[in-house]
Amino acid sequence: MGADGGNLSVRIWKGGAGGRLIEFEAPQRANQTVLDVVTWVQRHRDPGLAYRFACRVGMCGSCAMTVNGKPRWTCRTHVAKVAQDSRLTIEPLRNLPIVKDLACDMTVFFEKWRDARGRFEGRATRYDDIECIAPETPARQAVDAGIECINCAVCYAACDVVAWKPDYLGPAALNRVWTLQNDTRDAAQAERLAAVAGEAGCHNCHSQQGCTTHCPMSLNPTASIAGLKRAVFMAALRGEV
């Protein structure tokens, strides 16, 4: 929690890739989130500060930043939980180009989502009945385990393989693909498996679980990717990929 009173010493990244950290003082408040601090600095100290947010309640996935070295959703990260001696260092997410200050360019992240065919491709038409999916089937349970992704790119920033090999599709897109591969209504599973079996595909994952450790929705992209690896393995034995 932390009570009102006292000051936070906040270092915030300013500029693009060649930018630097600028130090600000901000008042410490009870139940304050990191996003509250960034907003306070923008309103009271630096109106030019660029950052991104929308919902402020952990649903839209737009507010992720690097806080004291770790990727986090800032609207639901309490300062009291992460500040070290009332100090905060706030930088843009890793592994994505910086637009300005704390806003990074998410284009590549979503392009990979597209390239991995992370879009539902149904076969039913509007004239068909709605398909019943039993919640207790293993396939639907696998979907449920990964479906709550908010596209925040925290996992993408946490992934060392993305840092080393920037073409790697990354945990979020692959987690999404795993949910679709388990969706019995989807009609493009063979094509989608081929899309994640290539040079940039799922087998690049080292299973270090950086994504799983930091995902704010407590998803487990590592497990989803392990499922994809098994599927690719079997498809390769059958000569399909």
Picked from ligand FES, ligand SF4, other proteins, none, the partner binding residue 60 (CB below 5 to 8 A depending on kind) is: ligand FES
Helix (H, G, I), strand (E, B) or coil at 27: strand
63, 50 Cβ separation under 8 angstroms: no
| Binding residues for ligand SF4 restricted to 114-173, rule: CB under 6 A | 149-155, 158-159, 161, 171-172
Half-sphere exposure of 159 (CA within 13 A, CB side): 32
When binding is defined by CB under 6 A, the residue of 196, 215, 231, 241 that contacts ligand SF4 is 215
How many angstroms separate the CA atoms of 13 and 186, rounded?
43
Q: How many helices (H) and strands (E) does the chain have?
A: 10, 7
Q: What is the nearest approach in angstroms of ligand SF4 to the Cβ of residue 190?
A: 23
When binding is defined by CB under 6 A, the residue of 207, 233, 234, 240 that contacts ligand SF4 is 207
Q: What is the nearest approach in angstroms of ligand FES to the Cβ of residue 65?
A: 10
Q: What is the nearest approach in angstroms of ligand SF4 to the Cβ of residue 168?
A: 8
User: Which sign does the torsion angle of CA 124, 126, 127, 130 carry?
Assistant: positive
Picked from ligand FES, ligand SF4, other proteins, none, the partner binding residue 201 (CB below 5 to 8 A depending on kind) is: other proteins
How many angstroms separate the CA atoms of 33 and 74, rounded?
7
Helix axes 221-237, 138-146, angle to 10 degrees: 130
Which of 187, 234 has the CB closer to other proteins? 234
Helix (H, G, I), strand (E, B) or coil at 13: strand
Tell me the H-state helices in the chain: 34-44, 79-82, 107-115, 138-146, 154-158, 160-164, 171-181, 189-195, 210-214, 221-237
Binding to ligand FES by residue 55, rule CB under 6 A?
yes
Binding to ligand SF4 by residue 175, rule CB under 6 A?
yes
Stretch that binds ligand FES, among 6-14, 48-56, 156-164, 225-233 (CB under 6 A): 48-56
Tokens of 77: 């990260």
| Binding residues for ligand FES restricted to 76-115, rule: CB under 6 A | none
Contacts to other proteins by CB under 8 A: 161, 164-165, 197-199, 201, 203-204, 229, 232-233, 235-237, 241
Please report, as ranges, the residues that interact with ligand SF4 according to CB under 6 A.
149-155, 158-159, 161, 171-172, 175, 205-211, 215, 217, 219, 221-222, 225
Please report, as ranges, the residues that interact with ligand FES according to CB under 6 A.
53-56, 58-63, 73, 75
